[in-house]
A and B are shown apart, each in its own frame.
Chain A
């Protein structure tokens, strides 16, 4: 697959984070090698829920909220571009998103939190609290136990698999993509990084680690620390149903083809992507409480995928002091942040720096 061995940049990881960055770098006219794993890699990018989500993210870390919002703002144009590349609608829609509240207390707490974010997040934070009656008008199928919802106009959703496919298509011919590539060792001599792979060395003055959970092992080789660990989420999907839900909600969304996806659990179970009846049952119960008609739907598939989690749940963007030119990008929001990764992050890395907006995202914050 590789036509040369020397590049401007090596990106490690062909998931949503790595592919978006590789795409962005190639748009800055850098020659890029994208090194990826094979068919059975953990691939959070293949198992995720498909939300482009702003609401409630970054409470306590306004920079994260702002960065997320920035990506959501870039998304419409980004999606347009990828639709053109793929010749197919990647399914991006931005009708705003809902998070349901099941008690008055929850409703109040949500309001308080979002109010706090509105005051602290630079650039503002739009939301509305929607009471039961109005919600019922918006969603006639809503269950009787839902007391209300928070609504955020910046939220949207996309087919995450088509997103990944579009990014891979977009880099075809621009980026040297090498699947099934394991990196044995990374070294740096005279300002050039060498990634030793089974098929030989790959060289470049820039190196971006976007290998998800793999970053944990790779980063120390270039003087970085990436304390990430897997957090399992289970997802359920029904057979195709007649469209009744145009708007994404945080735990339930109806995909373009008609299936209803339900998520998401947070389980600290190590590298285990299996599904369990206790968890999938709870997910089903919650979805039915939101939309009672789902009780009649057939469940077609469940799956587990591993989120790439940092200790505080926020991304890590860092550059190495000991190995200048080495960067790391890691997060559990590869869909939401795809646009800002392809634009702001890749542009900054092409110019040998990180964007100012991500200054607070270094792994140093964990060394207190």
Chain B
């Protein structure tokens, strides 16, 4: 088994830039990623699309094409790219990953977790039926295989990704039946004070452009929608909601839900990093310093996994983390690190200030933190919001006791899909804050692995005396 200076989990913008930067200072670097090619979710398959499907590159837009350069730099950096690698267990100075059904161990002096974001679950009644997808899911199909949904498509929710997807679908020739916005009117007023900072960041002009495009395409837009629910027996048949004083029912073949993204906390949680509730972003995030150091020694995290900042911010944060690792391993003097970080630090701050407007405007609606009793919150074990509330009323003080009593969060997704909702319901029912409530303990494997692979894992010490 080998040891590298820096193991990076995730080959998105943060991971790619961090790897290139660290290599530039002479560190040995390995980057592990579940996909076949670098890019992360945001630049998924960007190399292949650029090389083989230029027309798709055009419809996915300039921002997507930007990833090509990051991938190029990463490819020539000399960092080892361990593709199709599922990291399933982390230890402070090493990790285990599954590749081609075989478990491997990698030792590292420093670990940088850059595993990005997941979509914030949108638990409304009926959201687990076939015929309901997330915006991210639809985008993956579009990027990796050019698949475009047909039939009556309804997009519902809020946030930049939803509008971007709408524009991409339109460009791909898809007809969008309607866009249902779940932004309460009051949010526009709340967001106004953050407008000036957003004006300088470029987010706003992009958003305005997307919206204008959408309107000119004739897409029906509903605003201030609430009480969303999916109707249909086996398959989703319609999206129902309340808007503008009316009950609306939109027949649909595909309902796409999206209300922003949140950090993927599974890896940082599994390692025991301290997490804080970020009330601005309405999500838990690992506590870090300005370089990305977590509360666990030798472990850093940057990019959307450390708090949502977007793809460009992730690049700068990745560079800063690489400089810090180079310093801590003696490849750079502290002074050099600080000098080299000035530009990235400035741009990162600017980008993050610009995001505040988006965070306020697109905060998830209150009703999502408190789904109706009949709503499934845990898809794997089919546990409803009502069952969670009942468990709390019989004395469960936190999400781990709820998990024990209801099986909520015990399924193959390890609570990724229900964690935030369960904590929100527990906090609300008990009248405590999210921070006080906390989150599930995340146990390995981070994602399921075959038992045979574990049994065949090569470990250093032989221990066959488990039975005493």
Contacts and interface: CB of A to CB of B under 8 A. Distances in A.
Contacts of B448: 239, 298-300
B449 A302 contact: no
B3 interface: no
A279 B466 contact: yes
A168 B395 contact: yes
Interface in B388-432: 391, 394-401, 404-405, 407, 410-412, 414
Interface stretch (B54-62, B284-292, B457-465): B457-465
B105 A39 contact: no
Contacts, number: 119
Given A280-B454, A295-B455, A299-B445, A179 B410 contact: no
A103 to B, nearest CB: 13
A46 B407 CA distance: 12
Contacts of A251: 467
B455 to A, nearest CB: 4
Contact of A294 (B407, B438, B451): B451
Contact of B450 (A179, A280, A297): A297
A298 B457 CA distance: 15
A297 B453 CA distance: 10
Given A287-B451, A298-B451, A39 B463 contact: no
A277 B87 CA distance: 13
Contacts of A288: 451-452, 455
Given A165-B405, A169-B394, A301-B414, A40 B452 contact: no
B444 A275 contact: yes
A9 B358 CA distance: 56
Which DSSP category, helix, strand, loop or mixed, fits chain B's interface?
A: loop
Given A40-B398, A283-B466, A286-B467, A302 B443 contact: yes
Which of A179, A275, A300 is most buried by chain B, counting CB atoms within 10 A of its CB? A300
A46 B451 contact: no
B96 interface: yes
B405 A299 contact: no
Interface string A159-172: 00100110011001
B369 interface: no
A137 B449 CA distance: 31
Contact of A300 (B103, B411, B452): B411
A301 B445 contact: yes
A277 B400 contact: no
A233 B396 CA distance: 24
Given A277-B96, A299-B448, A284 B455 contact: yes
A282 B463 contact: yes
Which of B398, B407, B455, B457 is most buried by chain A, counting CB atoms within 10 A of its CB? B455
Given A284-B454, A300-B410, 8 more contacts: A38-B397, A161-B404, A161-B405, A161-B407, A251-B467, A278-B463, A281-B454, A281-B455
16 contacts: A39-B400, A39-B401, A40-B400, A161-B404, A161-B405, A168-B405, A277-B89, A277-B105, A279-B466, A281-B455, A284-B454, A286-B466, A295-B452, A298-B412, A299-B450, A301-B443
